[in-house]
Structures are given as C-alpha cells and as structure tokens.
Structure 1
Amino acid sequence: MAKAYASAVIDAPIETVWKIIRDFNGLPKWHSAIARSEIEDGLSSHAVGCIRSFYLQDGAHVREQLLALSDNEHSLSYNFVKPAFPVTNYEAFIRLIAITDGGRTFAEWGATFDEAPEDAGKYVEIVSTHVFAAGLKDLQAHLAG
C-alpha cells in the first residue's frame, strides 16, 4: 500500500483554518488546481456521505465522498468515487492541530492507496507534492490574503 503525505504550519488559528477545510465543497476557494466544485444531490457540504464533484484546471473530472468529519478533532476523511489517477482503495484525511505558541495551526494531509505494480511509487510523489503540499501552500496564501 502506498502512502502520500504533506504537512505545513499555517499562520492562522485552528478555528479559522478549520472553517475553510470543513467545507467539503470549498476547494476552488483555496486550492489553485481546482476549477469548480459542487456537492451532488443537494446535500450539505458537511454531510457525511456527500459526494463532491469537481473539475481540475486541466478539465479532469473527479468525484470524492466524505467519509468522516469531526469538529472536535478538526479532521475529515474521504475517498475516491471517480479517481483523478489510476489507483484503487484510496482513502485520504486532513487533520489540524492547534499550535498554542503563536496561534498557528499544524495541518497534515495524507492518503493511502494501491498502485499498479508498474506504477509503484509514481502517484505517491504526485499526490504528496502536487496535490497535498501544493494545496497546503495555497491554503496559507489564501489565509494571508
């Protein structure tokens, strides 16, 4: 099983960061790779089980289902319904932890998934760097203003 991961210190209090992250339909507001998004079937963007249908800037279509959302833990998890790349058993999480010194937030974004043998390691780098790390950098920029 492959593991992708990125983390960052965000210069904003956890409540501010969580308000943005918990909106499962909010990716286009802060992640530069996402062109547009909608929650299917008129469900709320924080309803466990809802599916976000979104388009990347290159036109690729992705669907993901919210598996868990915890306001107490400042975390959420989701999986692919229609993947962005050829992997299986994809499950991702975003988790926030308050940094009490300075009112900042530690953010981590990770996923586990299976790759085809010929792709071993290929999507770990892509997801870790171009999705998760880039997204956390975009989030920091969004919060900075």
Structure 2
Amino acid sequence: MNHQPQIEGATEYNVLGELLQPCSEDPLTGFFRSGYCAAGPENAAHHLVCIETSAEFLAYSKTVGNDLSTPRPEFAFPGLTPGNRWCLVAARWLQAHEDGKAPRIYLAATNRKILDLVPFEILKGYALDLN
C-alpha cells in the first residue's frame, strides 16, 4: 500500500503532522474502504482514529449500540476480533475515552482532523506507536 489515501485530490496528514499512514487492509477499513482513516473531500468522513481492538473495547462498543464484532455481509463487514486495526468514528472514540474504555491507537494512522475534537496529549496517552 502506498503512503497516501487513494481519495482523488486528497493529501491527508496524521496527528504527528506527517503523511497519513495506512491503518488496515485486512480487514479493509476506513469510511472509503481505502485502508486509511481519511476524512476525504470536504472532510465528509469521521472515521478518523486508527484503533487496535480488544475484547474489552468490542464488548463495551456493543453495549453502547455500536456492534463491531458481528459480521454484516450485506455491508461487506467481516466483524472485528481482538487485535484488528480499524478506523473508528472520532466521536465514538471520545465517548469510549470519557467512559474509561477507549482502545489503544496508532498515531501515524490517525487523521489530524480528530484534533478538532480531542487534544493531542490525550491521544498520546493511548498511543501504540510512540517510542
């Protein structure tokens, strides 16, 4: 996979100020199913946070009405299992954070547009890809 989302005319950046890196091809993620947590043209998409799923987060997410573990073939959604990487809606990540259930994240694959909602210092506390 190359290092830019394949959304026509878009060059997007991560929360580190670098080119946005891919989140996952297996399962294929992102609002545009490009593998990237891209906001896209006119910032239409909100699937901005590249997370690593855990059993605890998947159970929590289901209890708040966002079932990410059940396959939905009609939407080409395989269902997630612990350890998958996935582009999560920014507001859902913030909700999980406020409830003490937020999953760990990959900053290099998390879109900088989330900084409009969540301060970098908070995100950094959940980072899997910082030295």
TM-score normalised to structure 1 length:
0.26
Largest Rg, 1 or 2: 1
